[in-house]
Structure 1
Amino acid sequence: MNALWQKLKKHEISGQMFDDEIDLAYAVIDGIDARGERNNYRTERFQFDNHSS
């Protein structure tokens, strides 16, 4: 995962400024999707349960 993060920072979101964390999160999602399309592999998102007990 660290190697992917380094590539995303260098190639997908380098030089961009983000107003808040949600903008950064969407940029990361878009970057992963773009890399998947370019390299012809499937990407999939999932959500963690955030229900408090």
Structure 2
Amino acid sequence: MNLKREQLASRLFDDEYDLALALIEAIEQRGWDGNYSVERFKFNHV
């Protein structure tokens, strides 16, 4: 699967925070669908 193509395609985000929330949601959903747990997210702010 490809997050960008499958879960985030055609979506616009107001800022990096909204993008990060969408990524977290997509990764959690992928874990749920694949029956594995996601334990931690770490985003570095530059």
Normalised TM-score (structure 2): 0.81
CA RMSD of aligned residues (A): 1.8
Flag the structure with more relative contact order, 1 or 2, with Cα contacts below 8 A and sequence separation at least 6. 2
Q: TM-score, normalised by structure 1?
A: 0.71
- Identity in percent: 47
Structure 1, unaligned runs of 5 or more = 49-53
Gaps of 5+ in 2: none
Where does structure 1 differ by over 3 angstroms across 4 or more consecutive aligned residues? none
Point out the structure with the larger helix share: 1
Structure number with greater Rg is 1
Q: Count how many residue pairs are aligned between Structure 1 and Structure 2.
A: 43
